[in-house]
Structure 1
Amino acid sequence: MTQHVESVNSSVVPAVLPRTADSAAGPLAPGTHTITIDHKGTAVAQRYHVAGAGGPVCVALSGGPGIGWEYLRMPLLERAFTVVYVEPVGTGESGRLPDPRDYTLPTYTHFLNGVIGHLAQPSVTLLGHSYGGFVAQQYTLEHPEHLASLVLYDTSPVTGEEFWADAVANMERFARRHVAEHPEVATYVEALTAPLGRLDDDGATECLRTTMPAYVVDYWGREDEFGPARGSLRMYAEPSLGEGPAFDVREQLSGITAPTLVLVGAEDFICGPRWARMLHEGIPGARLAVLDGTGHLAHVERPAEFTEAVAGFLLEHTVPRGPGH
């Protein structure tokens, strides 16, 4: 099955979504939807946003935990698919949990299951970016019956000490390369390792915006493009207070049966090719795509190439939308 995906440059601006979707038109009507999901006896608001109105359904999970969903808008992909962006609990106008220690992988997986159940589709594609990829892996292992296909985008099957030591070392190298021309990068390691849960939302956002140039290739050479994106990033501090073990599903990857694309930026400092290869080698039949000239945000840096890789894969492994949607 093939479908043309229009190639355009990175100046494409996502369409503004309706503030409130027409609920009478169903759970996949374009715009913002709010549902309620029970969490340990408390009703919590869960928002999601629908863009695009054609093709199969792709549910997109943003990173963090605690980063606002908006940075993940993929306007070219929205031309070929109906993309459902989940606004994680603890961020934006989704609800807050009574106990901040509950911002854990099982919690996010539970809320994702509520959203997917509400969509009432035979199956969906999951696209998980960074921490959203952790959630996508866990959900796929727990609910394989709901998945048509899986895209693991700049993510890893494991965190813990080795993962973070690698990220810090990569950030240190980035700072050494650029500090002569951009002295502010001397603060990047401190910002990366800051205990965000001790900050307020503005403080957490400042840490994220400070380090954003390390997440792309050639930030200063393309600052006219990347500067507005940097200024729009938003991070919420409370999800950093979640308590739970380090993520590690390496021994479970062989149990993922959904067709899987592992997509990674060749120069991603935090979830780079080392971790992508672990996913590719561990998931039966997985396809690996390494995008040259990109860091952690290929959909912003090289949107046409990103869309070609994702859409080409998804169109091989999707099912039609359900009736009435």
Structure 2
Amino acid sequence: MLRCFQKLFIGVPKYQYFRNCGITASATKTHLKQLPKCLKKIALPYHENSTVIFRIWGISILTWLGFTSEDEGKESELIMTLKRAVLCMKREQYNTAEQLLHIALKIAQEQQNEQGIVYCFDLMANLAFDQQILDKAEKLFVTVLQILLSKGTKQDDLKVIHISLKLARIAQLRADLEKAELGYEWCLEKIKNQRNDDLDTEILSGVIQDWYAQFLLDKGDNQKALFYLKEAYRVCEKTMGANNEKSMLLLNDLGITSFRAGDIANAEIFLNEGIKIGQKVDDQTHVGVLHANLGLVLLHKGIVEKAKTLCKEAWSLGKKNMNNETMEQANYCFEQIKMNLGNK
């Protein structure tokens, strides 16, 4: 039996939380006749599969799929097929990935490799989720969960928790908010007593809190969302350090949520810090969104010239990185500035 399969389930996909959701603010007479409607949450590519599990949370599934000294003969064929499928999923070559996973499943079944079979189902579920085939994804995740539990896996096992987290997300996408909230809260409760056991547990705890915060934002519960975002950010700093893409994204979310909660001072602080980190990360695709968001916050404060500068920087970064989302937010920022000046 492959020992490397034992950790494969710990990874959690990097869900997009519709990070472009709008932020509505009430008008203020002090500085603006009309406030900017929306700070932009970063709409990450929808790589919801196990190939980019924790790509921004710092875990690589390909490392987990690496060979051990015992991985020889018939088992190496399964490992190689899974690695190829994982790479195809990462590249969004979904049809090829599906074919390879069925080949891998057949190999695992022929070898009577139970862990391999379950992992194939898990990847198939993630692949379906990638493509928003939610019914198929849910059925496969439930199948994996049933197999794990039937084999004596405990409910507070990380494998069970992370699959339950995905099921909560599916419920959220179906707008079944009650079921989604029960799922997220169950995951939080189960991870609570394990949080400091090891790095995988700590990271999974951070992801649960991040996802739950995004769910709360969808519900408009800004104060509660802030609490969980701060916890997610704390975990991110502890496990990955401060200067990484995930920290930047969380600071953007913290800035947006603070703005929605009426805490303009902290919104500015969070976004400024996110921009500083964004200047240090390798992938600067989304940094411009933070510039535009900060421009909108400063516009709210009546600091128009600085807001203009930030919007220009956002547009330039969007063009440089060929990121339409950033350019759209920069253009929105420009529109708000013009509207403000026109209403004076």
TM range (shorter): under 0.3
Return the index of the structure with the highest Cα Rg.
Answer: 2
**How high is the TM-score relative to the length of structure 1?**
0.26
Which structure has the highest helix share of the two? Answer: 2
**How high is the TM-score relative to the length of structure 2?**
0.25
